[in-house]
Amino acid sequence: MTTYYVLVFTVLTFFFGSVIYALHWSVRTGQFSRFQEGAESIFDDEEPIGRLNDCFPDLEPPELPLRKRA
């Protein structure tokens, strides 16, 4: 039974530690601010926003209106 409690304690300590570190880090590096920038971070700078990126091989992709970056 003692093994059991030691194990539980270790797991919990390790988990809490990593969690608080991750949290501190994410706030420090501004993960909870600049939302628009975050949403656009999946596009590289030269990728036009508003263009279909995947298509059946036998179809031509439709023309879409391009949009400006925020």
Partner 1 sequence: MNTAIRIFIGVFLTFATAWIGLVLVPHWQLKDLQSQKDEALGTLNPAPYTGLEADGRRVYIDLGCTYCHTQQVRGGFYNADLERGWGSRRSHPLDYIYDEPQLLGTMRTGPDLANIGVRQPSEEWHHLHFYDPQITSPGSIMPPHRFLYEKRRIQGQPSADALPLTGEFAPEEGYEVVPTYRAKALVAYMKRLDQSYDIVEEGDQ
Partner 2 sequence: MNAPPIPPEKLPEIRSEIDRSCSMPCLAWFASSMFWLIVGTIFAIIASIKMHNPEFLGDTAWLTFGRVRPAHLNVVAFGWGVPVAFGVLLWLQCRLCRVKMVWPGVILAAVVIWNIGITVGTIAILAGKSLGIEWLEFPTYAAFLLFLSFALVAVWSMMTFAQRRQDHVYVSQWYIFAGLFWFPWLYVTVQVLLILLPVKGVTQAAITWWFGHNALGLWFTPCALAAGYYFIPKVIGRPIYSYYLSLLGFWTLAIFYNWAGIHHLIAGPMPAWLVTTSIVGSMMMIIPVAAVAINHHMTMRGNFKLLKYSPTLRFVVFGAMAYTLTSLQGSLMSLRAYNEPTHFTHHTIGHAHLGLYAFFTMTMFGAMYYIVPRLTGREWASSRLIRIHWWGSAGGIIFMFLVLTIGGFIQGFEMNQASESFESAIDKHGFFGGLKQWFAGFQDRNGAVPFMEIVKGTIPYLIARSVSGVMILVGHLAFLALMVMNIHAWGRKRFGPTLFQRGDKTYTRLMTDELEEAKEA
- Residues in touch with partner 2 (CB under 8 A): 3-4, 7, 11, 15, 18, 22, 26, 29, 31-32, 34-62, 64, 66-68
Nearer Cβ to partner 1 (15/43)? 15
DSSP string, 26-65: HHHTTTTS-HHHHHHTTS-TTSPBT------TTSPPPP--
Is residue 8 close enough to count as binding partner 1 by CB under 8 A?
yes
Side-chain-side CA neighbours of residue 2 (13 Å): 0
Give contact residues for partner 1 (rule: CB under 8 A): 8, 12, 15-16, 19-20, 23-24, 26-27, 32
